[in-house]
Amino acid sequence: GRGEAGKEPESESILSGFKTSNILRDSAREKNIFVHGKLADQDAVVILEKTPIREDNLPEIFSGSRLKLEMKNDIYSTYRLQVPPHLNEIKTTVVCPATEKHVKKYQRQDSFLVEETGKDYQSITLPYIQKQSFSVQWVYNILEKKAEADRIVYEDPDPKVGFVLLPDFKWDQKQVDDLYLIAIVHQRDIKSLRDLTSEHTPLLQNIFQKGKEAILQRYNLPASQLRVYLHYQPSYYHLHVHFTKLGYEAPGCSVERAHLLSDVIQNLQSDPDYYKNRTLYFPLRADDGLLSKFKEAGRL
């Protein structure tokens, strides 16, 4: 068979032998599809995604294409346009052999909204976080300039209110439209929103103020076009703040996960222990270990 060691399949035809077993995920909005199947007897995941329409291709698309009228009503008409293949490619990613972990990663997962009281945090969430002991070594590497030092956009080195501001990995920095930066605090003992009290308002105000100034200076984007927020739950338990461009639907900016930094500061000013006692809501994926803990505790 084609899968034998040492034999590299021809790239031109590799997918003609692909046998689909199931669709892991697809998005009509983003025009992509994640397909699980077999490639020469090996498990494989094939990801197809249509490419963005490029402005510089427009003249050729308009002149060299075939149109089929679908509907005409007053000044509006719709067509199906057939374009020469080289102007309309599909980005294809093949993972082969794919492990069970890959398949699970790409599988669409339902999310469930969890209601966490201050007590739930102490009895369910905190023990879970501590037991997992997720490594944040990569964060310390950034703070200590052992990694990504060249990516730093701004730093305030103060150990109490200081932070490092750098682009998020999701942002390719090629256009300001999808601007995404992260401010990581120098203090190492603040896991998340839940640990914040009024003693941290100087830290939060410093990040808010200096982060906005640094972004104006570097990217010429005024503060009024920024969305500045924290996640709860965060994806790692070392306090950090997200800066994204308003109007860009950044992943994780929905109301059920994001907390505006301005609101956080306001809340701590009106109640120093607001985030210790407040009931917080957040989504967890069906396969999240923390969700099982909430279920075991009869909280879902």
Q: Is 84 in the site for a copy of itself (CB under 8 A)?
A: yes
Q: Is 86 in the site for a copy of itself (CB under 8 A)?
A: yes
Binding region for a copy of itself (CB under 8 A) out of 53-61, 135-143, 149-157, 189-197: 53-61
Residue 231 is a catalytic residue = no
Helical axes 201-219 vs 261-270, angle rounded to 10°: 160
**How far lies 37's CA from each of 13, 14, 17, in Å?**
16, 13, 10
Residue with tokens 């966490």: 116
Nearer to a copy of itself, 86 or 131 (CB): 86
Q: How far is CA 21 from the centre of its chain?
A: 28
According to DSSP, the residues that pair with 227 across neighbouring strands are 244
Among 21, 92, 130, 217, which residue sits at the site for a copy of itself (rule: CB under 8 A)? 92
Q: Is 204 in the site for a copy of itself (CB under 8 A)?
A: no
Q: Is 101 in the site for a copy of itself (CB under 8 A)?
A: no
Classified as helix, coil or strand, 81 is strand
Among 1, 6, 85, 157, which residue sits at the site for a copy of itself (rule: CB under 8 A)? 85
Nearest to 183 by CA among 236, 132, 242: 242
Cα gap 59→174, rounded to integer Å = 24
Instruction: With residue 159 as reference, give the H or E element that holds it.
Output: none
Sketch the per residue contact string, 123 through 162, with a copy of itself: x for CB under 8 A, - otherwise. ----------------------------------------
User: CA geometry: angle at 91 spanning 85 and 97, to 5°?
Assistant: 130
List binders of a copy of itself among 215-274 (CB under 8 A): 223-227, 229, 246-247, 249, 253-256, 258-260, 262-263, 266
Among 4, 30, 100, 144, which residue sits at the site for a copy of itself (rule: CB under 8 A)? 30
In the complex, minimum distance from the CB of residue 28 to a copy of itself, in angstroms, rounded to a whole number = 4
Q: Is 61 in the site for a copy of itself (CB under 8 A)?
A: yes
User: CA geometry: angle at 148 spanning 91 and 164, to 5°?
Assistant: 115
Nearest to 110 by CA among 259, 277, 286, 297: 286
Binding region for a copy of itself (CB under 8 A) out of 64-72, 134-142, 152-160, 190-198: 64-72
CB neighbours of residue 282 within 10 Å? 21
Q: Is 81 in the site for a copy of itself (CB under 8 A)?
A: yes
How many residues form the binding site for a copy of itself (CB under 8 A)? 87
Nearer to a copy of itself, 89 or 189 (CB): 89
Q: Is 117 in the site for a copy of itself (CB under 8 A)?
A: no
Active-site entry in 36, 200, 238, 240: 240
Residue 234 · residue 252 · CB < 8 Å? no
In the complex, minimum distance from the CB of residue 148 to a copy of itself, in angstroms, rounded to a whole number = 21
Binding region for a copy of itself (CB under 8 A) out of 5-13, 123-131, 135-143, 185-193: 5-13
Contacts of 96 (CB under 8 A, 6+ apart): 39, 42, 43, 44, 45
CB neighbours of residue 204 within 10 Å? 21
Nearer to a copy of itself, 142 or 182 (CB): 182
Nearer to a copy of itself, 38 or 186 (CB): 38
Active site residues: 240
